[in-house]
A and B are shown apart, each in its own frame.
Chain A
């Protein structure tokens, strides 16, 4: 055990996701038994599902089930539970990212598309401002617009979408790189809800929807400029793997941005928040979505998620630098940021 610890400390900046022994170190510490020799890969490792303890292999399935149940009422419930404040959080999130036209964004666990739509509107707004400032320049507002006639309505695959144009240096030409956004979610029902919303907002051509697991993203290395995950990372079974995958798909200089519930340090606010979480939210879940258990899982999973500093440390361990966080609403939510540099 001591040897393992020495190795894990020595690894420093090396990404830990490929090293299974290091992944198991965290789970080993969760087990209370001191019988080390039996704790090999053959025994099932346990993890938390809210306050419940389950096997790791079951967690992904159970989370999938939760989100399949809530998908249709997800947005309504968000508004009801947070009294609309989640919109402010997401607006602030996009303000922090401040993407310029030409950015490729991957929004993971982005199910119903909140972040993706904000990204598109933000970038369009920026392009308009730029157009007003320099009247002669040409911009392509519709990222999927090509010179070929659109014969089939099907979307290109995610990889094609990312590689459709030369990413060579365009600084000496007037042609601007197009902004792209891909929404990746493990749950197809959430993506379907997102697609419907996109149709209503008339943004259906601007987003690509991909099913995928945050721990094993179906994208090539160094392919996106920004990776965002809003209220999704606490549902991932192996957060360190998700962080490593984020590191892998980001291009050097790319930004990792995570919006997630976090710990409230102020005891007064914390007591009000706890009361609200455990007494009001599951009841709202039952009334509006007829699903007490999913919302019980939600509030419990928030408590189980590491606090701001610990999560920042996890992000650093994955290899990111310039890691920082901002609290929102005194710590109810936090935006963590890191760069692959």
Chain B
């Protein structure tokens, strides 16, 4: 829990730092790097001293590559409604940052990279919210909610983040399903459901861990599909769909637990029958 708190603090400070640095346009990152001083026939010693003096204060630090990518992806989000999840959106974003349209080449998967970035941001936001709630529960300010209610709420929150882009979300889904993006997309989905279950209170250490996450991932994916076709006011159909699916999950869990004694007795019965038959036929019995 302390670790999660530290994570939140780090996340917020890093985002604060980013906003501080954001004032500098991306195009200045390369401005002073290639020095074109007239050097002539200088000897090694002169080279060395002139080199030390070229570490001037006016030589700005270059913006890290990851930050360049982050900024471009963030800027591209506003062009998605008009250009879709595509390199055109990335190119428009590059132009607002003062870079040429060819900079979209920084993202070899084009629209797929943009979709992955968006999914990553949404997942982080959701995790942050859930972590805050968990922290409050642990500190005793709030009561822990029922698992089913928590999951329903988490799913709704997460799906509402897609709503601004719901018109071309099918394009994003198809991009995420392509082989160059599918592994990363699957990773994001699995970490999403893992976080949801963890903050819902799941601490299982047996095969349940897997079944819970797989089934929740199934619910989430199908809810996404319902969301993009949903025409009801405020997407009520989608939230009801999630309700029903979570009901199914609960029933499935109960059914599995209910069946266990029957399965055990069935297994005992079968092994008994086998032994009886073996004894009667004398097959594979060693005479001592």
Contact = CB atoms under 8 A, between A and B. Distances in A.
Interface string A166-208: 0001010000000000000000000000000000000000000
Contact of B105 (A19, A21, A97, A104): A97
Interface in B14-44: 26-31, 33-39, 41-42, 44
Contact of A15 (B33, B98, B99): B33
B105 A337 contact: yes
Nearest to B36: A18
A241 to B, nearest CB: 12
Contact of B91 (A100, A247, A321): A100
B34 A248 contact: yes
Nearest to A134: B82
Interface string B47-72: 11001001000000011010010000
Contacts of B284: none
B96 interface: yes
A252 B98 contact: yes
A171 B79 CA distance: 12
A7 interface: yes
Interface residues of B, number: 44
Interface in A201-255: 225-226, 244, 247-248, 251-255
Interface in B89-114: 91-92, 94-106, 108, 110
Contacts of A275: none
B281 interface: no
Given A7-B44, A321-B65, A255 B103 contact: yes
A322 B33 contact: no
Contacts, number: 119
Given A21-B42, A253-B26, A97 B102 contact: yes
A132 interface: no
A100 B103 contact: no
A59 interface: no
Contacts of B287: none
Contact of B101 (A103, A252, A319, A340): A103
Given A11-B51, A13-B62, A97-B105, A252 B34 contact: no
A252 B99 contact: yes
A340 B34 CA distance: 10
Contacts of A11: 51
A340 B29 CA distance: 9
A41 B102 contact: no
A21 B51 contact: no
